A and B are shown apart, each in its own frame.
Chain A
């Protein structure tokens, strides 16, 4: 351990693919089977960068469209947030943004990225590119696929770099 680990939380509506994204990023695996997350699942991953190695502790929080009391406690001490939406379900983006606002009011200036997942199902895509472009003006947005791995690494790396910048 060269420095202390950083905690990041994955927030988003149920079934958007948070657990799958973590699985892809941490273990490079993917499963079609949907096992909803109960409570929270914590993983960790070391991120190599030019200045050495830093560690991310990733809290994959059960899917909700709004944060209840328990989920709020899970957020404590987090330095970064990953808001996940499902590109094939337009309302999940609104949930993600709503969650982001809720979380930001609880945390001190957390680093945020928005992930719009399941880009491999682009033909069933419900979210308009214009909406995303509008969104990109305020927060970094990544289009990802836990299935294919597209954009996953880049999204986590971006958040990690953002956290390093904070120090």
Chain B
């Protein structure tokens, strides 16, 4: 009979189920990056002059930066000349028209991933934008949303059709000068999603983007921009997977959110990129900049993330609280197993009066996983009556993994009220034995304990996705134990 510790190790080592590769003809450019590549990407997308200029400035700025080394993660230096910066399934180069024109091979791929794109089969009430390597291949429910004045389309299409909005908001939350990867993304981004919710409209369905990296040696650099006008509400979800490969692949996305007065954006992520194998070979480097700006009074931005994949995760979805009484939230579950490393957390920057932020982070480490929470709460001079609550819990499964917490606090207004709670627990032999003595298998016991631990975060997700996330957590913890 294996001991609990042995079982826990087996459970921590389970296989990745989305690792298949789709054989589609691709229009790719050779690896490497210089100014001509930036121009080529822009030309392929027939972009307006302002965008090309912006890309070039970003590229010039990127050249002056070096890769950040402060995250608590460890990986070999990335060869930026070895990456392919543009790859699109043939015939999809200029974005989707209608589903009939989408390569059936691609539809099949998404079906296999559990994201059918045919509308009659869709999850009721969810509109999907499917991004395959560098381009968006399909967006569903566009017409229905259009009736309400909601724009939900690929980024490329938005550049063509709504260039005034792009020009106004692109880089307004994450400027290309923000950091190394944001600069790189700004120079070479290929596609992504764009949402615009007009004044007073409550989006009647979940909007979601499903990112898939397929081609080899390809970096995925997408941008998402969501604008919620006065009094509007939207809930948006992104999901991600990639094939299993021995080489590491870079995913450096930028997400910008803007809320005007009384508007709310809820942004949820279920990230399940390929994590690499048991020895840490392969897997996605997920280096992402996500930030929201609560521009208007009483507005609210809420980030929820369930991070189960990637070899390395490096991201801090943040909120800039400018409008008085605005609210920022961050709910996170990060699971690291095998050789996965995650350095994730949030920044809440309080500028307006009576701004509030709420941070709940749950880190789970199994196998040789390393999990770091890094959070900054900054209260500006004018942020009278600002309040923050941070709760940061770590759970260790087995004895070869690690959990680390780096909370940073900067307070420049004495009326601010801050609360911080942190805990680290080991998944107890006691808990395991208790569950097993009630007839539950070791596997079910681990997933039940973990899902209980993550409850506060999972309940923030839209219903269908909460179930999906719960399943994903248990699938990720599942092993050969029966």
Q: Do A and B come from one complex?
A: no
